[in-house]
Structure 1
Amino acid sequence: MTALRPRAEALAEPLPPLLARARHLAAGVVLGEHGRRRPGLGDAFWQFRPARPGDPARAIDWRRSARSDQHFVQEKEWQAAQAVVFWVDRAASMRFASAKNGETKAGRAALIALSTSVLLVQGGERIGLTESPAPPARGALQLERVAAALADPAMQDYGAPETATLPRHSRAVFLSDFLGPLEPVEAALATAADRGVTGALLQVLDPAEEAFPYDGRTLFHSVGGSLEYETRQAGDLKARYLDRLAERKARLAELAHRTGWQYHLHHTGDAPTSALLWLYRALEGRI
């Protein structure tokens, strides 16, 4: 038991900084006057709108209509909490960072996912992780649970989305470099479509994975150490590599389009704010 304590403390150490960074990043996002509010079923007043043909007489707000030459209907605010679940790839490939002391893909993906979760919880939504058996929930305690789970790395070289507990008619976000086999991703999107789940794919890449700045004798190896390849002319691989990467990005975009999802590419060398705004708006259906 004593030997477990240092490991537990090391695992928990990134939690407060990650959550603090996520809250700071979310605080800098301007979502507009109403945030995620919209008309629908609920008890809170939303707005008045002109009456339309087919509106029943009982829907007319006669007090408001008396002040005008036309009839008005009072709309209520939509209050049904949406469930949004995240798959944040924490496999070995996501621990890559080309710059010394640079942010890893896993760190950036976790930051964006948790920052989005902060905004969703502020809007009254429920959040969760695809691999969690517990249902999505609201509140600060749920944010801490998600942050703690994101601090736990996976052992395999490449990750794959889990969909066993994906709630029906929820929204989902998959964050990964998507450099492993695409068949599990395609299967996960098919399962999501069968359950009426829509969402977003956010591909997170290191700038070096886009530029391929390698030449001469180079030893390539996976972060997990299971794959290794040595070449004396790395520059000769660049064109083929970039073609394969372009094909993969196009395939992800096509998969997203076919299943009603959204796709976006983000680089760890860019500010996370743009990805956070894109993702939040994608969940609102604005993109």
Structure 2
Amino acid sequence: MNPSGPALRRSAEALSGALPPLLVAAEHLANSALPGAHGRRRAGPGAEFWQFRPVHAGDAASRIDWRRSARGDDLFVREREWQAARAVTLWVDDGAAMGFRADPSRQTKAQRARLLALALALVLLRGGERVGLARTDLRPRAGRAQAEALALALADQDAAGAEHGAVDLHAAPAGGHVVLFSDFLGDLAPLEAALALAAARSMRGILVQVLDPVEEHFPFDGRTRFESMSGHLSHETLRAADLRGAYRDRLAARKDRLAALARDTGWHATTLHTDSAPAPGLLWLYQALGGHR
């Protein structure tokens, strides 16, 4: 028996309650930032009708659509749509440092990174692309079921004991695309190794540095105690303002290094902040990924 009335409403509420809040937020972001995004359309051996075009020299007579051609003096061919679905692999740093936020009213770096990653995945999946995570059990696939699997995986991603996660792209398909989300403030050796592997396997992608605005501006003054999110490192100073110049120089050098790594491998790099609206960042990511075709 099909549910109706109150029973149907209870079933719908139960189903919606089972969805991770991350998926709901990511769908809202994807729909508001890129409501009309779709896959890449080109003529080819697809199954869906795309358009009529005039007959070209060399077209077989069997390709002519005689019904459309009968409307006038010209002959037309019915073209079908071909979508070259990309394989896009996402990685979100699960290090303890990504749990930082200076203001409780803002998202942590991890929350913002996961939101952007899942929203980007939803937009790509909506366009017929294949999306997965950099792990063997969630390789790039298409479809709504994959969107829900990604949402569950990202929502359940626990912070690692280490301060920074180490990216590993061995599970990413050769020739595919990769988007990496991290603060990239830790040791860059794992990232350099991952980019070397990506270059050897013809993978292209984007480095997305996610920072809290406090990490960008270093507004500290006077006596301050700094402690890593993992609790493994700490430093106390009586004159925090004296460290501001050196800190900003080191952050600028790190950004320059990330830009150089991206440039040398044909990737893009950007920095996004947790106090900014996520929609412009998502739009930039989608457009930057669209350039890698």
Interval containing the TM-score (normalised by the shorter chain): 0.7 to 0.9
Question: Counterparts of 1:188-203 in structure 2 under 5 Å?
Answer: 188-203=194-209
- Give 1:62 shift: 7.5
Equivalent in the alignment of 2:149: 145
Question: Counterparts of 1:197-236 in structure 2 under 5 Å?
Answer: 197-236=203-242
* Runs of at least 5 residues in structure 1 that lack an aligned partner in the other structure: 1-12
Alpha-carbon distance in 1 for matches of 2:199, 2:18 = 35
- Give 1:193 shift: 1.4
Equivalent in the alignment of 2:252: 246
Out of 73, 85, 89, the residue aligned to residue 85 of structure 1 is 89
Alpha-carbon distance in 2 for matches of 1:183, 1:227 = 20
Equivalent in the alignment of 1:3: none
Equivalent in the alignment of 1:237: 243
Alpha-carbon distance in 2 for matches of 1:79, 1:209 = 42
User: Retained in 1: the 8 A contact 2:101–2:108?
Assistant: yes
Number of aligned residue pairs: 272
TM-score normalised by length of structure 2:
0.83
Question: Counterparts of 1:14-93 in structure 2 under 5 Å?
Answer: 16-30=20-34, 32=36, 35-41=38-44, 42-47=46-51, 56-58=58-60, 75-93=79-97
Distance change >3 Å, CA 136–CA 260, structure 1 → 2: same
User: Retained in 1: the 8 A contact 2:96–2:163?
Assistant: yes
- Give 1:140 shift: 2.6
- Residue type of the partner of 2:86? Q
- Give 1:94 shift: 0.3
Q: Looking at CA atoms only, which structure, 1 or 2, has the larger radius of gyration?
A: 2
Alpha-carbon distance in 2 for matches of 1:14, 1:259 = 41
Alpha-carbon distance in 1 for matches of 2:79, 2:64 = 10
Moved more, 145-154 or 213-222: 145-154
- Residue type of the partner of 1:29? A
User: Retained in 2: the 8 A contact 1:40–1:78?
Assistant: yes
Residue 28 of structure 1 aligns to a residue whose secondary structure is helix
- Give 1:230 shift: 1.1
* Runs of at least 5 residues in structure 2 that lack an aligned partner in the other structure: 1-16
Q: Does 1:100 align with 2:96?
A: no
Residue 94 of structure 1 aligns to a residue whose secondary structure is helix
Q: CA RMSD in A?
A: 2.7
- Give 1:234 shift: 0.9
Distance change >3 Å, CA 144–CA 233, structure 1 → 2: same
Identity %: 49
TM-score normalised by length of structure 1:
0.85
- Residue type of the partner of 1:201? L
Alpha-carbon distance in 1 for matches of 2:19, 2:162 = 22
Distance change >3 Å, CA 227–CA 19, structure 1 → 2: same
User: Retained in 2: the 8 A contact 1:36–1:284?
Assistant: no
- Give 1:124 shift: 1.7
Alpha-carbon distance in 2 for matches of 1:100, 1:134 = 32
Q: Does 1:156 align with 2:162?
A: yes
